[in-house]
Amino acid sequence: MPIGKLARSVGCKVQTIRYYEQIGLLPAPIRTAGDQRRYGEAHRQKLGFIRHARELGFPLPAIRELLALSDQQESDCAGADRIARRQLEAVNRRIAMLTSLRAELERMLAHGGGKRIRDCRVIATLADHGLCSQAHHAQTADA
């Protein structure tokens, strides 16, 4: 199938497919006499795997590892479990950070503001990290 049809079949962009080929995540397709790419079902399946892994937030190096493991059907699953566990830990860290950010935004808004910007708690908190109740925000600002 041509690249456009492959892209539509898995819901991604043509540029994404070319990028995955360029970095070696997706094998190069055969080319026609007119130098057009032609993809098969194996490409579609591998691209679907990559796309699903990206939707779950896996970084490209982890996807590369998972793809290598998927080619070793009789191997132990421990490696894939380790990669998924790392991803789960990263997701849990992001959730904790987002929960903290939500709490800070709610706190800023709960204090209300005045009718004028000079009395606005949101503006004051953003301007003065000391008013922020979340310690890691001050650390991020200093970095």
pLDDT attached to residue 30: 92
d(Cα 47, Cα 104) in Å, to the nearest integer?
Answer: 39
Q: Specify whether the CB–CB gap between 131 and 124 falls below 8 A.
A: yes
pLDDT at residue 25, rounded to an integer: 95
For 80-123, the pLDDT digits (tens) are: 999 999 999 999 999 999 999 999 888 888 877 677 887 787 88
Does the pLDDT at position 46 exceed 60?
yes
One-letter identity of residue 143: A
Region 1-57: CATH code:
1.10.1660.10
pLDDT tens string 53-73? 999 999 999 999 999 999 898
pLDDT at site 109: 84
